[in-house]
Every structure is written in C-alpha cells, then in structure tokens.
Amino acid sequence: MPGTAHTRIILASGSPYRRKLLQQLEIPFDCISPEIDETASSLEQPDALALRLSKQKAQAAANQLTPLEEPAIIIGSDQVAACDGKVFGKPGTKEEALKQLTWCQGKIVTFYTGLSLLHLGSSKQITRLCPFSVTFRNRKEAQLKAYIQREQPLDCAGSFKAEGLGITLFKSMAGKDPNSLIGLPLIDLVEMLEQFGIELL
C-alpha cells in the first residue's frame, strides 16, 4: 500500500474552515493554497464541476512541491451549490450574496463537494462526489441582509456559512455527512485515507 505511518498529509486549500475540520482527525498536516481557474465550462453540470475542481486543486498543489523523499497524500476539495438548475459559486460581493440567497428561498439547494486524494510517487488518485441537500426557509430581505452583514459569507459557495448563522436559513437537511456543507466530508475522507493505508485509530 502507498500509505505508511510516515506519509505526509497536505491539504490543498487555504480555507480556514477546511483546515479546522481536518484538525478534528488529529493528524499532522500542511496546507498549500493552489491557484486554479474555477470557471465552469460550457454545459458543465455542478457535480462534474465539483469533481473536476477537486482533482485540479490536488494536482495544482502537487505542482508546487519539489520532489520529496517522504511519501505524501494531497487532499483536494471543492464545493458547488445548485438550485433549480442554477449553479452558485462563491458570491464575492454582498450584492451577489443577496441575489443567491433570495433565489433559494423556500427551495431545495444541493451542495456538491468533490473530494480527491492524490498520492505523490505512485500518482494514484481517488475521487468521490459527496452531495448534501438543504431546504431553505423563507426569510425576509432584512433577515438575509443581517445574515450577510454578520457572517460575511462571500467566500462560501451559495453564500451559505453552515458553521455559523447560515444554519438559521435552513428548514431541514439531508445527506451522509453534514461536514460536507463546510467543504470537507470527513466520513468519506477517513474511508479514502484508509484506502491509502492511513489508519487513524
């Protein structure tokens, strides 16, 4: 197996949310912030986009590394939100965040999180799609603006910050792992690490 007790773990993300989640597994890891173009190609579906971006993030992080003496596993993850055929990325501005949240009122929003693990040396890569759905409450515009002002969810797909006040926007949730809402599905990650021989217990 490519994994050993001395395998270096690298999180291909600058997200403090993903970093905090990975710390829950109590394994040492490093972070690299990869730069990739997150623009969707023509007619690309949200699930395919999330998978592609997670793979590209892992590979982009690998490209930033010099040849290593020790084995390493790079974790790439990306999230795309979709509702009624409309795909939502990171809003970037408060105005766009309000548009996204207004669109989702009373609807079901699906968050597609792509998770990709790349082993340097063997070049083995495994990837999974981790969907999670939420039903949005109907909120007044003033409430949405208050949420945006307090949480500043400008770097969150669909403007949802589930680890904060974003939970107040949800009526119900359905899926395998609520951690995927924050951008790193830990249940699937543990299973994938074990495929590389990384045992956490």
Return all residues near 163 (Cβ < 8 A) that are at least 6 apart: 17, 181, 182
pLDDT score, position 143: 96
Give the side-chain half-sphere CA count within 13 A for 40: 20
User: What is the set of active-site residues?
Assistant: 78
Q: Is the pLDDT score of 5 beyond 70?
A: no
Which amino acid would we find at residue 169?
L
Q: What DSSP letter does each residue of 42-74 carry, written as one string? A: TT--HHHHHHHHHHHHHHHHHHTSPP-SS-EEE
Of 41-45, 122-126, 173-177, 180-184, give the lowest mean pLDDT range: 41-45
77-102 tens-digit pLDDT: 999 999 998 898 889 999 999 999 99
23-36 tens-digit pLDDT: 999 999 999 998 88
What fold, for 8-195?
A: Maf protein (3.90.950)
Q: Are 148 and 159 in contact (CB under 8 A)?
A: yes
Q: Is the dihedral of CA 36, 37, 38, 40 positive or negative?
A: negative
Which DSSP state fits 169?
G
* 3 state DSSP class of 189: helix
**Which residues share a beta bridge with 175?**
132
pLDDT band at 174 (very low <50, low <70, confident <90, very high): very high
pTM over 0.85: yes
Q: Are 8 and 61 in contact (CB under 8 A)?
A: no
